[in-house]
Structure formats: C-alpha cells, structure tokens
Structure 1
Amino acid sequence: MAIQIGDKLPHFSAARQDGSSFDSNEINQKPVVIYFYPKDFTPGCTSQACSFRDAYQDFQDLGAEVIGVSGDSAISHQSFQQKYKLPFILLSDVDRKLRRLFGVPSALFGLLPGRVTYVFDAKGYCIYIFDSMSARKHIERALKAIQKTK
C-alpha cells in the first residue's frame, strides 16, 4: 500500500552513508523531505542531489530535514556524498524495503527504480508527494510544500 497524502510517516530503520543505523524516530517533531532516486552518480540523480544540496539551507531555515534514499550501498553513498559535498543523510535501501514500505513505483516499464519525493510535516503527516523522473522540479516543489506549513 503506497503512502498517500494524510498518512503518517511509517517507522523504519536503514543504514546511513557512514554505515551507522538511522531510525525514523530521529526526525520526529520536524518537517522532513524524503526523496527516492534511482542511482548514485548518474546524471539526473547527481543533478537532483546537488540541487537539494544548494537549497539545503533553505530547508534548514524552515526547520526541515532532507533525506535521500536509493538502492546503492552505504559505501557508494559515502563516496557520492563526499564527492558532491552533500550535507544531508543518504540511506541505503539495497533490499528495497523502504521502496516497498513507501510504495515507490518503478519507472520506464519497471526497468528503473522510481523517483518520488515525499514531504511530511512536523507532526509526521504526509502533506505532499511528487512522482516524476524529471529530477529538476522535486526541490522547488518540496520547498514550497514545507513553506505552506509555516
């Protein structure tokens, strides 16, 4: 069952880019953007991650956290984060548990993992979902959704 607007952020845990464990309870009481992307170091995903990086302070100023999720390993995420100086958390979803938990659809006839951004308010409720393989619009739309909560 896919997450819908109004649904509560499900509890989950996953490996961070440094190999440590992340628990979704760490982000209680603050807005959060969780974006799923296909693969580290690909052109669209790199552009999207760098755009979130460039707007990260805007999200922080609104009290929000940004978390990226893909099926890459924590080691790949660490290299990706270091190369592009990404200030936010990257979670490894090698077993696709998080994709299934959130209901992220595949793209291109099931050939690629989908690109979906979820925005949750400070109470943990989903207020916005953007599903598009176009990497450029995710950041602007997520930021507008969080601004509406203020």
Structure 2
Amino acid sequence: MCSLRDAAKSFAKLQVKVYGISFDDVSSQASFARKHGLAYPLLSDPDQSVGRKYGVTRAGGRPFAQRVTFVIDDLGVLRHVSSKVAVSTHGAELVELIEKLRAARK
C-alpha cells in the first residue's frame, strides 16, 4: 500500500485512480490510512462480497484477502491482474505496466 502512496505523482500524471479494498471495517481502514499517510480511498468489504466476486478470498474462510491488483481501464475493461505483489516495488511496477498497456492501445 505504501509503494502505491509513493507512486501517487506518477499515477496522477497518468490520470490513474487508485483504490484499496479489504475486509476490514471502515474505522480500521481510516486508522490504517492515517498511520501510513495514504491519500487514496480505502474501501471496506466486511461481508467479503466483492472479494468473492473477484476470487480473492483465502481458502478455509480465513478473514483476509489475498494481495491482488486489478488494472481496469477507463472503459471498465479488466486489462491486467497481478496476484504476486512485491509490496516494496509494486507502485513503480504498476506505473510501468500501465504505460506499456497504454502504448499497446495506440
């Protein structure tokens, strides 16, 4: 999450919107965002309905999501799924990926 925060200027230049979502409640999300200085919205999915739709709930009903990133374009088309997230470099990797995806569309 912090590497996404650190890439905020690059995302802004690309006009990319970033959202985080977890199974935590709104209060926990707000506390986490303050603690880590996150400026992007953190969404709460306490009943795991969104997590189930995207297939990111863990086996055995454990109450936390897998770390997965979905890149959805401005038309609502899913362009990429990252299920192996290197927390420290993920923001920079996403910027590079989005630039490549956009170049391929031209």
Q: Secondary structure at 2:53's aligned position in 1?
A: helix
The answer to whether structure 1 residue 103 and structure 2 residue 55 are counterparts is yes
- Count of residues in Structure 1 that have an aligned counterpart in Structure 2: 101
Matches within 5 A, 1:6-45: none
Please state if 1:62 is matched with 2:14: yes
What is the distance in 1 between the residues matched to 2:80 and 2:54?
13
Distance in 2 between residues matched to 1:92 and 1:105, nearest whole Å: 14
The answer to whether structure 1 residue 132 and structure 2 residue 92 are counterparts is no
More strand by share: 1
Which of 10, 13, 29 in structure 2 is aligned with 1:77? 29
Runs (4+) of structure 1 exceeding 6 A deviation are: none
Structure 2: runs of 5 or more not aligned: none
> Cα offset for 1:81?
1.0
In the other structure, the counterpart of 1:86 is 38
Is 1:51 aligned with 2:11? no
RMSD (CA atoms): 2.0
Of residues 97, 100, 103, the one that matches 1:145 is 97
Deviations 1:71-121 (A, max 9, x none): 1110011111112210101000110011111122527x7655211001011
Overall identity of the aligned pairs, in %: 35
**TM-score computed with the length of structure 1 as normaliser:** 0.60
For the Cα contact (< 8 Å) 2:3–2:92, is it kept in 1? no
> How far off its partner does 1:146 sit?
1.5
Q: Does 1:116 align with 2:68?
A: yes
| Structure 1 unaligned spans of 5+ | 1-48
Structure 1, residues 31-84: CA drift from partner, whole Å, max 9, x if none? xxxxxxxxxxxxxxxxxx111111111111100010001111100111111122
Give the distance between the partners of 2:58 and 2:87, measured in 1 at CA.
15
RCO higher in structure (CA 8 A, sep ≥6): 1
